[in-house]
A = this chain, B = another copy of it.
Amino acid sequence: MANTDSVKVRVLSLNCWGIRYLSKHCPQRYAMIGDMLCKEEHDIVLLQEVWSEKDYLSLKKKLACSHPHSHYFKSGVIGSGLAIFSIHRIHDTFLFRYSLNGYPYMAHHGDWFGGKAVGMAVLNIGSLTANVYVTHLHAEYCRDKDSYLPHRVVQAWELQQFIRHTSAGADMVILGGDLNMHPQDLGNRLLRSYTGLQDAYLESAKFDGCEDGMTLIADNPFINKKELCPFEKGIRIDYILFKGSTKTDIYCDYMSTTKGSVPNHPFPYSDHEALTAGLRLETHTQTRSDRQPKIKDSAAGKLAALVDIVTEARTEVKVGLHCAEGMRYTATRTGVMGLALLVLELAIAAVPWLALGTEQPFPRTSFYLLAALCFAILLTTFLLYIFYTMELKALQGAEDQMRLAVGSLQEKLRGFPLAQPHNAPRRPPEGHEPSALTPEE
């Protein structure tokens, strides 16, 4: 006999746009966010872009009563900007820094300095273990020519790996954050298919918020409408994703977003909209493998689809590899030219000394200036060479892992009787989960 317990969990995710002195009305908005969180008392609050630790600490002070447990994830030069506040005790935390995260010399984009990562917190909600993840992926500055796409795909790859491998012992998995990807973008499909995470917006029984669940909308006064183009009304790039386990079923009862303004306030909380999801967990004393399988699609079909997605991701990573190789080659060539110039200059300088007694004065100023230029070129290209080599290693590493994953998935696919994609076998193998691949397998 199945014994059913129900636990409700309210989750909020918000990109706070908290760049001190640069983001508009930053202190006022943090005050508004603090008041709202204090009042609303969500079980779990997942914040991104809390760039200053001071802002985190002032929020922590304000939420000491409503959310006694919190963690701020430190990483990179500025920090990861990630923070978790919780009503439930946080037992353990872990941070995974993405191996790729833009370029340090693209300082105006700033992503590299943020040290983008995924933070994990292990919470006990009643007798259940919840693994809660918060992340913020590299921004998309130009959708048509997105030079950061391979980096973001590798980040999505590492995110799914991290969640998949660390959540085996959890009864409930929640991921919230600014993924900087549209719902059908490659990285998003990769993440959802591989982990089996479900999108709260798509699964919610009730929804109240912006059209199509958008989280970056034209109606938000902090948004530059031109930058949204060609998506006039806005885009959906912030998410709350969730999944249960063999022991639990999880449902999204309702979901809401803010709508570009806050009643009784002159401006919204942030340039992004805040997301709230009401999740309900049902625990069974029986494990899923004992019950009727609840899988709608066929496991083989899912595997085949996953093979396609990983193959697509591999292609994207290969594009990145090609690009990084080109950049490293350019850096090497420029460095060699700098060295040649230096040698040439030294040769020219050596001539008047060899030809002693020449009356012509030695052009010292030009000599030193040119030498300084050569050294600057050599140093810069050396640093760039090191950086691109690290980028290449990270991309190659991801590509290797993806190749291995495709091989393993195909092997598994061969194990299915009449393994025809999109053709459901009656019953998946024992203990098989909605996610196409669990670490146990």
Residues in A lying within 8 Å of B, measured CB to CB: 71-77, 79, 89-97, 99, 115, 120, 122, 124, 129, 161-162, 165-166, 168-170, 364-365, 368-369, 372, 375, 379, 386, 389-390, 393-394, 396-397, 400-401, 404-405, 408, 411, 437-441
Contact yes or no, A397 B95, CB < 8 A: yes
Residues of B within 8 A of A441 (CB): 91, 124, 129
Protomer copies: 2
Residues of B within 8 A of A386 (CB): 77
CA distance A168 to B390 in the complex (A): 31
* A93-B401, A129-B440, A364-B365 known, 12 other contacts, Cβ within 8 Å: A73-B397, A74-B393, A75-B393, A75-B397, A76-B390, A92-B437, A95-B99, A96-B96, A168-B170, A170-B440, A364-B364, A379-B379
Distance (whole angstroms) from the CB of A210 to the closest CB of chain B: 35
CA distance A236 to B165 in the complex (A): 31
User: Which of B77, B95, B124, B368 touches A365 (beta carbons < 8 Å)?
Assistant: B368
CA distance A437 to B170 in the complex (A): 14
Distance (whole angstroms) from the CB of A235 to the closest CB of chain B: 31
CA distance A77 to B408 in the complex (A): 28
Contact yes or no, A169 B440, CB < 8 A: yes
User: Which of B93, B369, B372, B437 touches A404 (beta carbons < 8 Å)?
Assistant: B93
Residues of B within 8 A of A115 (CB): 390, 393
Residues of B within 8 A of A364 (CB): 364-365
User: Which of B75, B92, B168, B440 touches A394 (beta carbons < 8 Å)?
Assistant: B75
Contact yes or no, B94 A161, CB < 8 A: yes
Distance (whole angstroms) from the CB of A276 to the closest CB of chain B: 26
Given contacts A74-B397, A393-B115, contact A165 B372 (CB under 8 A): no
Interchain residue pairs with CB less than 8 A apart (23)? A71-B400, A73-B397, A74-B394, A77-B390, A89-B408, A90-B404, A92-B405, A93-B401, A93-B404, A94-B161, A95-B99, A95-B401, A115-B390, A122-B439, A129-B440, A165-B165, A168-B168, A168-B169, A170-B439, A364-B364, A364-B365, A365-B368, A368-B369
CA distance A368 to B166 in the complex (A): 57
Distance (whole angstroms) from the CB of A218 to the closest CB of chain B: 36
Tell me the interface secondary structure of chain A in the complex: mixed
Residues of B within 8 A of A93 (CB): 400-401, 404
Q: Which residue of B lies closest to A404 (CB)?
A: B93
Distance (whole angstroms) from the CB of A383 to the closest CB of chain B: 8
Residues of B within 8 A of A437 (CB): 92
Residues of B within 8 A of A162 (CB): 94
Q: Which residue of B lies closest to A99 (CB)?
A: B97
CA distance A369 to B371 in the complex (A): 10
CA distance A441 to B364 in the complex (A): 72
User: Which of B75, B120, B129, B401 touches A99 (beta carbons < 8 Å)?
Assistant: B75
Residues of B within 8 A of A120 (CB): 165
Distance (whole angstroms) from the CB of A391 to the closest CB of chain B: 10
Given contacts A74-B400, A393-B115, contact A91 B372 (CB under 8 A): no
Q: Which residue of B lies closest to A168 (CB)?
A: B169
Distance (whole angstroms) from the CB of A375 to the closest CB of chain B: 8
Contact yes or no, A169 B76, CB < 8 A: no
CA distance A369 to B93 in the complex (A): 51
